[in-house]
Amino acid sequence: MSLAKEAMLTAKTGGGNCVCLAEEPASSADLEKKIRARLLHNDTFVRALDDEVGRCSRYGQKFSLILLSITTLEAKGSVLDGAVRADIMRTAFKLINSRIRTIDKSFLYTDSRFAVIVPHTGYEGAAALADKLVHTLTDHPVLRNIGTEINITVNLGVSAFPNDAVSSEGLLRRTAAALEQSIKDSSNKVAFASAVIAGSGKHGRDIKELTARLLEAGPSSVYNLLAAVDVTEHYERPHSQAVSRYAMAIGAAMGLPSVAARRLRVIGLLHDLGKACLPEDIITKPGSLVDHEWDTMMKHPIYCSEMLKVFSDFEFCSVPILCHHERVDGSGYPRGLRGDQIPIESKIIAVAEAYDDMITPRPYRQQVSSAEALEELKNQSGSHFDVAVVKAFMKALPSLEARP
């Protein structure tokens, strides 16, 4: 009967639509080895995590990942009877599901650990849920059978997409690292990936580390990282998509070839990717930046250019994005280029971004109307912005605004 229970537990906690067969092992130690081997890589969980990363990347949304360890089982190893271990895990799974929302997804990750995917939730919401799970699982005995009561200890690691990683593999590694740190700290503790992984969170990410992560995850991870920038800056709508749309319209109005328009779409999408390396307190600062903060902010085109040129798919974006804050009078950054020294793609992105910045609420200045933004572009035409590009944008904008 205990073997049937083991099989049923594995099937139920495997994520749904699973069938597991009970096998007669040679010993309880063999049973534990079989269970561990079967569950160390839960394909259902991995697929669900991949799907969530893909969905949130497409729609610029966030989610959190929680790994929860029943450390009582890990500490005692095979001392506990297999049936008792199964009962503990079954009870823990029920308790976890009693505390999460219907849109959250829970899985058995190994024979002593659970994973919970928490959609539409950042660190604050995940921290609150993690605390609830700690208290739910540890405040009362999980078993009261065979004349004894068994209390458990737990540890949790928490990460958030896209702030901590831009791929499912990276997110899982960073959550696991947070869990291991929690276990080192004490029982019934929660640790966060942002505090464990150096170079992230309020202090910014190291450009070499982030580039290495992107290379490891592949070219698609570049688009995943876009969500990190928009989420961090709390945009009401994806800024990168708006800039891309305006840039393509400008290119069409200027009569650029279709291949150039396609490149503008990608350059516009990725132009602010370098902000993923900046400290969050600079990006979200409500007031004006002081000198040393501006020095940091002005590095984001360099960071983006460095990241993109390592990918053959995005190498064409490197120079235009590096120069998109240059001004035709030479007062821009990072190189102080002027006039024809600035690529036409960079001039187009500069106008598209400036317009979207002005008409969208920002923490550091007041939003203005479309008419006021256009007037500002005209006033700065010939100094900050290229005259031909501004004229093309003013020609293209009515048709853009007329679209639903």
DSSP string across 99-110:
HS-TT-EEEEEE
- pLDDT above 90 covers a percentage of the chain that reads 40
**Model pLDDT, residue 323:** 96
Question: Looking at the predicted structure, is the pLDDT value of residue 23 above 50?
Answer: no
Given pLDDT bands bounded at 50, 70 and 90, which one contains residue 239? confident
Task: Give 249-285 as a DSSP string.
Answer: HHHHHTT--HHHHHHHHHHHHHTTGGGGGS-HHHHT-
Q: Which residue has the higher pLDDT, 256 or 235?
A: 256
**Model pLDDT, residue 77:** 52
Average pLDDT score over residue span 330-336: 93
Between 17-21, 58-62, 100-104, 286-290, the lowest mean confidence (pLDDT) is in: 17-21
**Model pLDDT, residue 351:** 97
Domain 2-197 CATH superfamily: Reverse transcriptase/Diguanylate cyclase domain (3.30.70.270)
**What H or E segment, with its residue span, contains residue 308?**
helix 300-308
**Model pLDDT, residue 16:** 43
**Model pLDDT, residue 75:** 65
Question: Looking at the predicted structure, is the pLDDT value of residue 67 above 70?
Answer: yes
- CATH class entry, domain 210-402: mainly alpha
**Model pLDDT, residue 211:** 78
Q: Which residue has the higher pLDDT, 108 or 387?
A: 387
Average pLDDT score over residue span 260-270: 92
Given pLDDT bands bounded at 50, 70 and 90, which one contains residue 230? low
**Model pLDDT, residue 79:** 59
Q: Which residue has the higher pLDDT, 76 or 297?
A: 297
Q: Which residue has the higher pLDDT, 31 or 114?
A: 114
**Model pLDDT, residue 244:** 92
- pLDDT, one tens digit per residue, over 170-196 is 788 889 888 888 888 888 999 988 776
Question: Looking at the predicted structure, is the pLDDT value of residue 20 above 80?
Answer: no
Annotated domain spans of the chain: 2-197, 210-402
- pLDDT, one tens digit per residue, over 152-165 is 899 999 999 887 77
Q: How would you label 100-137 residue by residue, b for 16+ Cβ within 10 Å and e otherwise?
A: beeebbbbbbbbbbbbbbbbebebebbbebbeebbeeb
Across the chain, mean pLDDT equals: 80
**Region class of 204: left (phi > 0), else alpha (psi between -120 and 50), else beta:** left
**Model pLDDT, residue 197:** 45
